Amino acid sequence: MPTILKAKEWVNSGRIGKIHQVKADFGYPVKFVEGDRMYNPALAGGCLLDMGIYTLAIAQYFINQLPDLSLVSHKLAKTGVEDDLTLLAQYPDATATLACSFRAKFQNSAYIIGENGYIDIPNFWRADRCSLFQLDEKVEEFVENRRGSGFEFQIDAASQCILDGEKEARLMPLSTSLLLQQQMHDILCRIGLR
């Protein structure tokens, strides 16, 4: 999404200095319905695979390292899938605090925090704006005027790859997708769900 690319541009140009933390959460109340995919362990249910992937992906995109150590706190629905999960991941040069939930509406924002400032990305998983701060002062804002939900950028990128005969996207290569899948698998194993 253009908003995420703008935030990355600010980071790469040193606007916030070295990244120290990424904080991201994604949560919406999801009513429990017996047999529903969201709560069905046989159908990859649970908030990590459904919402948590977005938090993991944004941390990976900005930190671009593998975590050394992760601590996980979670709650289970009556079907045995996690419906609330918080992850504290320690990377060699930064820390990520990530959360996802079917139990409550979260702020659904991401913060990329550096030594000289931070970037606020509201609704980061479908972001259409971001703000650059130095201490408490907003020094720049990017607002994207679009009509869609943000998923059109994935559709356009995949379509262009197919038209160009490419097997993977440059911005999200297969290796990154596999890395994120492995991270989710490791988290679920850690809490005894795989």
> What is the DSSP secondary-structure string of 1-13?
-HHHHHHHHHHHT
Q: Do 49 and 184 meet the contact criterion of CB atoms below 8 Å apart? A: yes
Identify the pLDDT of residue 126.
Answer: 93
Q: What is the pLDDT of residue 43?
A: 94
Q: How confident is the model at residue 145 (pLDDT cuts 50, 70, 90)?
A: confident
Residue 155 has what pLDDT? 84
Question: What pLDDT does residue 147 have?
Answer: 81
* Residue 52: DSSP 8-state: I
Mean pLDDT, rounded, for 153-168: 88
What pLDDT does 189 receive? 94
The predicted-structure confidence for 19-75, as pLDDT tens digits, reads as follows 999 999 999 999 999 889 999 999 999 999 999 999 999 999 999 999 988 899 999
pLDDT at 169 exceeding the cut of 90: no
Render the burial of 45-69: b for 16+ CB within 10 Å, e for the rest: bbbbbbbbbbbbbbbbbbbeeebee
